[in-house]
Amino acid sequence: MTLRILVSNDDGYRAEGIQRLREALARLAEVTVVAPDRNRSGASNSLTLDVPLRVHEAEPGLHVVLGGTPTDCVHMALSGLLPQRFDMVVSGVNDGANLGDDTLYSGTVAAAIEGRFLGLPTLAVSLCTQSGSGRHFDSAARVAVELVAGLQAQPLGQGLILNVNVPDLPYAQLGGFRATRLGARHASEAVIPARDPKGNTVYWVGPAGASADAGEGTDFEAIALGWVSVTPLSVDLTRHASLPSLRQWLGATQSAPGRR
């Protein structure tokens, strides 16, 4: 049976990363792209609810959502835009790392999360590019193919989300794969003031902070050592360990509603 993969991203459909990913995955699956028409980095899990969205089929198998977010793209593709059913969602290849706290803001990760909400196993793949780095998108695309093939051979579950970060190195120089946990960053740097053409002050969001928790087992450590970081993500934000103490606190400090 033909494997059908939905591909999306947050850098826009023209980005090199999604083009390399599409080409690589096409060797083992039927690939359909539904992606934003422009860069929507940092869009997180936002849906467009205030205006209708238009979709342009730029070429067979490539659908461009005008003004849409990554979450819009995956949601629409899996909820009636297209007639076919999909087996998996792969998001990327993102131009830049999605490590630690980045996952909360990332449109690349959000596209994968939306696929999981709609019942599919998903991958979010990012290349850890930096200023002056080699930009080896082919390495990240090859990593994606290997992980997809592995999931075909031995599935990990329908609700799976894997956040994959790939060092910006030639494929032969990658150390291999490591199962990791999310690290953490320091607070981001201060906003950057500038002037618009009329002399009014405007602000740019400051760069992300350096790693704060980059210790053993983290995604930051794996990337620093030249390994591909593979982190399983959960969409359950409940802090389960705090439930017993919260119940105790509520019982001690709050009267039951309607009993005052």
The single-letter code of the amino acid at 47 is L
pLDDT tens digits, residue range 12-71? 999 999 999 999 999 999 999 999 999 999 899 999 999 999 999 999 999 999 999 999
Distance of CA 125 to the CA centre of its chain: 7
CB-count exposure of residue 242 (10 Å: 0-12, 13-18, 19+): exposed
Question: For the residues 195-210, what does the mean pLDDT come to?
Answer: 84
Closest CA to 56 of 41, 67, 69, 46: 67
Question: For the residues 216-234, what does the mean pLDDT come to?
Answer: 95
Token pair, residue 169, equals 């190195």
Angstrom CA distances, 87 to 5, 135, 138, stand at: 6, 29, 23
Residue 17 parent element (H or E): helix 16-25
**Rg (the chain; Cα; Å):** 20
* Average pLDDT of the residues of the chain: 91
Closest CA to 95 of 148, 43, 135: 135
Q: What percent of the chain has pLDDT over 70?
A: 93
| Residue spans of beta strands (DSSP E) within the chain | 4-8, 30-36, 54-59, 62-66, 88-95, 122-128, 161-167, 177-179, 184-185, 192-195, 201-204, 211-213, 228-232
Q: How far is the C-alpha of 102 from the C-alpha of 61, rounded, in Å? A: 30
Quick one: pLDDT at residue 212? 64
CB 45 within 8 A of CB 110: yes
In the chain, the domains with their CATH numbers are 4-185+211-253 (3.40.1210.10)
Quick one: pLDDT at residue 258? 60
Distance of CA 217 to the CA centre of its chain: 20
Quick one: pLDDT at residue 69? 96
Q: How far is the C-alpha of 147 from the C-alpha of 192, rounded, in Å? A: 39
Q: What percent of the chain has pLDDT over 90?
A: 78
Quick one: pLDDT at residue 130? 80
